[in-house]
Amino acid sequence: MSHHHHGAHGNHRHAGDSHEPNYALSQILDLDAEILDGPMSAVRVDIAALADEPVRSILDLGAGTGTGTFGLLQHFVASHAVAVDGSTDMLEHLQRRAEHLGLADRVTTLHADLDEGVPELDPVDLAWASGSLHHLADPDRSLGQVAAAIRPGGLLAIVELNGHPRFLTDGAPGAAAEAKAHALLAVDRTVDMPAMGSDWGARLARAGLVVELDRPIVVDLPPPLPDVVGTYAFAILTRIRGAVAERLGAADLDHLDQLLDGGPSDVRYRSDLYVRTERQLLIARRPASG
């Protein structure tokens, strides 16, 4: 596994993109965090409610650009985080953002490929993994190592993806092409990312952790939405196009292109966009000694 979440990224076939302009994965991760700020704030409240003592040490596994790290540091004001990622570019982005936010003295970056093993560190109060576990080659083995990195009584919080965000309602211009592109990606995931959509509760239990919260994060944002949503939709659909263009029929590809070509159907300039996506939050505890 090399880095953090988004369904249309990583070392998988989804990463291809031949449609300009391209958006870097780091930009998509930051846009995603901005748009989902409300639901993720609620996740941090859930973590705080279950913590058995103040959260002072955090391990962010597959930290990406650090959006999860920074949200946790700002919520748990006495904490320090170790942000682990397999991409040096992501970690450099994270470090620059930490300096901009005045958090550089509270975060340590660590370059590591989690498929080669979870780094050995002092046990932490909270381990965090958002959208990263489904990229692991052997999630069960890695989760066992993650469990060992948490102090007795400490928590692991994971947010996992169930699919890609959708932006168009049935019957809207381009909606059918968007739906067909998502169907192709769903087939890809069964090969490229078979762990996506797993029974993560069962996996956590096998790692010796006790699941204390398991709930969906349902995002259904109706129009009118801020302009940033159009940018987010454009970035994601551009990357999706790169993954499926050769397999879409000519008519569907043309309709998909119209969502990205600067014309009247371009998602950057539309007022009818939704954001619909669902993720799963699980918070599990390492049992206390004795």
pLDDT on residue 4 = 42
At residue 22, the pLDDT reads 55
- Residue 194 pLDDT > 60, yes or no? no
Q: Provide the whole-model pTM.
A: 0.89
Range of lowest pLDDT (24-33, 54-63, 106-115, 117-126): 24-33
For the chain, domain boundaries:
13-165+194-221+276-285
Nearest to 272, CA basis, from 170, 166, 164, 168: 168
119 close to 112: Cβ distance less than 8 angstroms = yes
Residues above pLDDT 70, as percent of the chain? 90
Give residue-wise pLDDT tens across range 35-67.
999 999 999 999 999 999 999 999 999 999 999
Task: Specify whether the CB–CB gap between 162 and 197 falls below 8 A.
Answer: yes
- Under the banding of pLDDT at 50, 70 and 90, the label for residue 189 is confident
What percent of the chain is predicted at pLDDT more than 90?
Answer: 81
The pLDDT of residue 190: 72
Task: Look at residue 126 and tell me whether its pLDDT is greater than 90.
Answer: yes
The second-level CATH assignment, the architecture, of 13-165+194-221+276-285 is 3-Layer(aba) Sandwich (3.40)
The band of 134, judged by pLDDT with boundaries at 50, 70 and 90, is confident
| Three-class secondary structure assignment of 68-89 | HHHHHHHHCCCCEEEEEECCHH
Going by pLDDT thresholds of 50, 70 and 90, the confidence category of residue 196 is confident
pLDDT in tens, 210-222: 999 999 999 999 9
